[in-house]
Chain A
Amino acid sequence: MSTALITLEDVTVHYGPHLALQRISGQFGAGTLTAIAGPNGAGKSTLLKVIAGLLRPSKGRVTIAPEVRASIGYLPQISASQRDYPLSVMQAASTGLWPEIGNAGRLTPTLKDRVRAALAEVGLAGFELRQISALSGGEFQRLLFARLILQDPKVLLLDEPFAAIDAETTARLIKLLLRWHGQGRTIVCVLHDLLLIHKYFPDSFVLAGKCMGRGHTHDLFEQKLLSFDLDMAELHDPEHAEGPHDAD
């Protein structure tokens, strides 16, 4: 088992009276590619936000290894972005360089070439001067992946990166994801699509308000914690779990 980069201890999150996450514990090792699966309202996005440091747990603790603490890339759900913001594709992608060049660093020709290369890598070559408001959902998601390429983080936290985008874009972004995995980056990805999880994600974390199971994806399928036959909502069945029934 590789060294743990992200450690969760008894992480509990309340939104007011509503219990979103209940006593989640677990580790994400260096270089792992993990899917977070679970029904709607299971707290998947909440868990990702807690790991990203955007949300403070009401109880429990998240520990990020110091060597990656300043190198986290977070991709929010596409619906959370301002898609009509007055930026060009080139400008929006360049924001990924901000941690590197700061508030006053110049965007040198070399850096501009890097931005163009990142855009080309996600299939947005030639889109540089377009305004982001003119992009389709799939193109916008590609743009955010280009920003991630430029940010070059060691840990990637992705929230539903393939929701509501076309098949071609999904295929291209999955390829990118696998390459990042091959480079030894640590990836945690909230995902709905069981086919994608089964095919591409070695590890999974099954969530339904609390942790239903975690480990190798294929073991979880064997244990029927992940299943193509089973509706994910059945995880709420009290026979399987005493998870929160108000988790939606």
Chain B
Amino acid sequence: MTLIDFFIAPFSDYAFMRRALAAAVILAMGGTPLGVFMMLRRMTLVGDALSHAILPGVAVAFLVAGLSVWAMTLGGLIAAIIVALAAVFLVRTTQLKEDGAFTLLYLLSLGGGVTLLSLKGSGVNLLHLLFGNILAIDAQTLMLTAGVSSLSLFVLCVLYRRLVIDGFDPSFLAVAGNGRGAVWTSPLFFVLLMINLVAAFQALGTLMALGLMILPALAARFWVRNIDKLIPLAMGLAVLSAVAGLLLSFYLDVPSGPAIVLLAGMGTLLSALIGRVGSVRLYRTRGR
């Protein structure tokens, strides 16, 4: 077997691998720019909590409509919106802080979701929803994923300058953008995040959906200093992890979602150790 065979054959020989590759690349391209902004806004844990929070919605949809892509997507989206609004409500009206509120809600969602799912159905379905099954993605789901990612990239282009300004100095956006719709920036970002998480969950499951968005962004931060380079590099790293993860999954016969996230995570850890910006390697010379 030549090297080319090793990398190409799985995809040329099997249609399910091709669909998985397409889904992974699409998710990588659509999700990582959001991941970069999540990282810069220091809300990666909030994103993580939101991604788990979609489970009960998906579970209810599954109980009612079975494994229907549309029903589960809608259910997941509704659950995510409810959790986000509930978190905002709790933070405003109680002494809970954001991290506490989201932790409460995502644990509640996970517990509730798994309990609901076990009312009907097997452990196979549960595993499928928790960890996704990118190898079983059908054409319909692929179209949904592609649609969401395209829409999200388009909206992100429009929002881009606002998001950059908001992360750098929110007061500038609020004061200078007064009357220019600046107040919609954060809510729109949240909506984008939610639809991307719901789109990614089919492939990577509720536990792993965030991995492909956020890990490459964290890794990229260790190599480049400017946002112009951060987003393309994060996209590239995400695509790389996706392809490598699929190959790993194919040859070692391990679940594909966790394989992709494992490789992305290892890449991030390696970047943290030897990267060019703020890594362990530079700890001594940094002086602070």
Contact = CB atoms under 8 A, between A and B. Distances in A.
Nearest to A92: B168
A70 B168 contact: no
B160 interface: yes
Interface string B131-170: 0000000000000000000000000001111101101110
B169 A76 contact: yes
B122 interface: no
B172 interface: yes
Contacts, number: 81
B284 interface: no
Contacts of B162: 98, 103
A73 interface: yes
A153 B161 CA distance: 20
Given A86-B227, A103-B162, A131-B226, A53 B169 contact: no
B164 A74 contact: no
A54 B171 contact: yes
Nearest to B220: A86
Interface string A68-82: 011011101000111
B164 A95 contact: yes
B225 A86 contact: yes
B123 interface: no
Interface residues of B, number: 27
Contacts of A87: 164, 168, 226-227
Interface-central residue, A52, A76, A86, A92, by most chain B CB under 10 Å = A86
A147 interface: yes
Nearest to B169: A81
Contacts of B158: 103-104
A69 B179 contact: yes
Nearest to B158: A103
B230 interface: yes
B159 A103 contact: yes
A74 B172 contact: yes
Nearest to A100: B176
A81 B168 contact: yes
B174 interface: yes
B226 A88 contact: yes
B230 A82 contact: no
Given A95-B164, A98-B165, A103-B159, A70 B172 contact: no
Contacts of B165: 95, 98
B1 interface: no
Contact of A103 (B160, B174, B227): B160
Nearest to B179: A70
Interface string A37-66: 000000000000000111000000000000
Contacts of A98: 161-162, 165, 176-177
Nearest to B181: A103
Most buried by A among B40, B158, B178: B178
Nearest to B176: A99
A151 B230 contact: no
B3 interface: no
A85 interface: yes
B174 A82 contact: no
A72 B175 contact: yes
Interface string B221-244: 100111110100000000000000
Contacts of B175: 52-54, 72-74, 157
A85 B167 contact: yes
A90 to B, nearest CB: 10
Nearest to B228: A91
A88 B230 CA distance: 13
Contacts of B221: 86
B226 A95 contact: no
Given A95-B164, A99-B180, A103-B158, A52 B171 contact: yes
A136 interface: no
B230 to A, nearest CB: 6
B272 to A, nearest CB: 16
A133 B168 contact: no
A74 B174 CA distance: 10
B273 to A, nearest CB: 20
Contact of B40 (A52, A80, A85, A103): A85
Given A53-B175, A82-B168, A95-B169, 8 more contacts: A54-B171, A72-B178, A74-B176, A86-B40, A98-B161, A98-B165, A98-B176, A103-B158
11 contacts: A69-B179, A73-B176, A81-B169, A86-B225, A86-B226, A88-B226, A95-B169, A98-B177, A99-B176, A102-B161, A157-B175
Interface of B: 40, 158-162, 164-165, 167-169, 171-172, 174-180, 221, 224-228, 230
